[in-house]
Copies of this chain bind each other. A is one copy, B any other.
Amino acid sequence: MFYHDKKLQYTVKVDKPDPRFARALQQAIGGIEGEIRVCLQYLFQAWNSRGPVRYRDMLLNTGTEEIAHIEMLATAVCLNLEGASSSVIETIVGNDPLMEKIMGGGDPRHFLSGGMGALASDANGVPFNGSWVVSSGNIAADMYANVMAEATGRTLATRLYEMTDDAGMKDMLSFLIARDTMHQQQWLAVLEELGHGDIRGVHPIPNSFPQSQEHQEFSYAFVDTNIDPDSPSVGQNRRWTQGQSLDGRSEFREIKAQPVGSEPQLGPPIPEGHAQTEQIERAGQKY
């Protein structure tokens, strides 16, 4: 069973809104490398889990954490779609002509279908597809599917990091990249535990991204989202909560899930989006 908190797992701030970056972020929400996929993948693997309970527990914790990542990215899309002035937009992507040409414009459905809100789609507006959710019944196959998801996911996050010079977005991405580091490590730790090699010294993929640019205090911490005091998720003897990390760069530790970010504050609806009058008139009201 699941619970929530109104605050974000980590701060989401946008200094210079850019609808093109909003479009790019969609890949991390509804794309095959995105957070809806890993969220559902880990949760289905947990729910379908047959065998020792330790893996079910681990998957439930991380699957639950991923919902918070979708939430952060959806909030980031909304903020990037907010009423930017012309001059701001002109300077967002900067002078790199390749980036400029690759992005073209934003996603027209952000306005047409969403009224300046996020969609369950990728950066081209292609909807999320449930076929991407891998839960094979074989724990080792599943773990490789998870490593692969985090490896392509972290690669995507580093590319998004390179596309923006917005300080808030870079900060958010450096948190998400750190979490992808940990998740890669923990799935590999399960593989090691299952006899799939001695994986010590393996750096997170892509290894060309300097770890100094990720929020390293979150890079080796297992986040425990279980709030039941009678039935703790993890105790002793977990490879992914203690001891040296697989890459040899730190120590694994375990932290209770708690929000670093605050409750998101979106701007009011834009008039052209034709929200209901009541939304527009009462947009300033707390309740």
Contact = CB atoms under 8 A, between A and B. Distances in A.
Nearest to A261: B1
A138 B155 contact: yes
Contacts of A61: 4
Contacts of A147: 144, 148
Interface stretch (A96-104, A167-175, A214-222): A96-104
Nearest to A256: B3
Nearest to A47: B74
B104 A106 contact: yes
A208 B274 contact: yes
Interface string A268-282: 111111111111101
For A23, A75, A99, A105, which residue has the most chain B Cβ atoms within 10 angstroms?
Answer: A105
Given A129-B127, A197-B200, A105 B101 contact: yes
A267 interface: yes
A7 B3 contact: no
Copies of the protein in its oligomer: 6
Contact of A102 (B83, B111, B134, B162): B111
A15 to B, nearest CB: 17
Nearest to A205: B140
Given A6-B60, A32-B131, A198-B198, A74 B53 contact: no
A38 to B, nearest CB: 12
A185 to B, nearest CB: 12
A249 interface: no
B48 A78 contact: yes
For A137, A163, A207, which residue has the most chain B Cβ atoms within 10 angstroms?
Answer: A137
Given A128-B133, A141-B148, A208-B276, 13 more contacts: A2-B4, A4-B64, A5-B227, A47-B71, A47-B264, A51-B275, A102-B105, A111-B159, A111-B163, A114-B135, A137-B273, A138-B274, A144-B148
